[in-house]
Amino acid sequence: MKQFTKYIVILIATVVLLAACQNKPENGDKGSNSSKSSSNDGNSKDKLVLYAAGPDNLVNDMVKQFEKQTGKKVQVFQGTTGEILGRLEAEKDNPKADVVQLASLPAALDYKKKGLIEPYKVKNHKKLYKDWIDKDGYYYGFSGSALGLSYNTKNVKNPPKDVKDLTQSKFKNKIAIPDPSESGTALDLLSIKVNNEGSKAWDEYKALKQNGMKLAGANKPALESVIKGDNDVVYGGVDYMVYAAKAKGEPVDIKYPKSGTAISPRPAFILKSSKHKELAKKYMNYVTSSKGQKQVDDHYLIPADKTAEKKKGKAKLKDIKEYKYDWNHLSDKSEKVLKKFTELMR
C-alpha cells in the first residue's frame, strides 16, 4: 500500500499543477472541474456535498432522484478520479466533502488504511457482490466497468478476440491503450494483467509496442480516437462508454479478451470528516438500493446488485471472463508496474 500511496501523491501533485490548464475526463460525458448544485444559495449547512467521478449523466440522475426522495439538496463536484483526489488533498485542513465516488478501487483502500472513512452498513449490503464491498462497510463498489477491446466497426470487420490478435500486421500503427498514468482503470488492468501473467504480459506489451501501440490519453479521448478512426482498436477501453456511444449511433463496439480482463468496481464512501453523516448514510443507502442500482444499469455500468442487470445492449458480468486478483496486493505493486510500463513506452 505504501507504493500506491506514493503513486497517489505523484498523481495529486500533477493534478494540482495541471488542473488549471486542462481537464481530461475519465467518464463518457462532458468533464467538469467545477461544482454543481441544485441550489445556489451558497449555504451548505443542510446540503450533502458529493465529489464524484462520472459518468456525469449517471451522477446527475442519481442526485436528482435522491433530492426528490429526501427533500434535501446535494452540491456536486464532478471530475476525474485524479482531480477529486487532488481536491481532497488540497482541502485536507478544511474538508468539505461528505461522500466520495471514484472510478477505481485502490484509492478507497488507501483512504481506509489512513482512517479517513466513516464505516456504515447499507441496508442492501447482503445483495451486493462481496468482493466489491468492504465487509465492515468502509466502502461500496456500487457500480463497475469491464475493460475490453474497443474497435471501429467501419474499419474492423473481423474484431480481435484476444489481445495477441492486435500484434497482427493489419493492426500496425492502428492500436492504442488508455494511458495508465492518466486513467485509474487502465492502471488497474495493467497491474492485474502483470499480476496474473508475469513475464508473458510484458512480452505481449512489448509486441504491441513493436506493432505501433500508442498511448491515447484518458478513457474518453481514447474512445474518441476509435470513433474518429484514428485508431482501429483501443485495448483497455471502458465498456460503458462504448455501449453509450454505440446507442447514439457511433461506429464502435467492444469485445472482451477471451484470455480474461479486469473489472473495476467504482467505490463510494463516507468521509470521517463529513459534517452531514446522517444524510450521507441516506445517500449511500440510495445508490446501493434497487432504484439506485437500476440507474447504474440504465447507464450501461455493471450494478453491484446482480438482480439489477436487465439493460439490453450490454454484456452481463457472468458473460465476462475476469482475471483473479486481490486489490490490496495489487495496490502495493502499482507504482512499480506503472514505472516499468512507462519505460517500455518511451
- Kindly report the number of other CB atoms within 10 A of residue 18's CB atom: 14
Selection from 99, 98, 73, 77 nearest residue 32 by Cα: 77
Burial letters for 67-78: b for 16+ Cβ neighbours within 10 Å, e otherwise?
beeeebbbbbbb
Count Cβ atoms within 10 A of the Cβ of residue 39 and give its class: 0-12 exposed, 13-18 middle, 19 or more buried. Answer: middle
Separation in Å, CA 21 to CA 17, 68, 217, 277 = 8, 36, 15, 34
Separation in Å, CA 235 to CA 108, 120, 149, 160, 323 = 25, 36, 5, 10, 15
**Does 240 count as an annotated binding residue?**
yes
Beta bridge partners of 133: 140
Residues at the binding site for Fe cation are: 240
Residues at the binding site are: 240
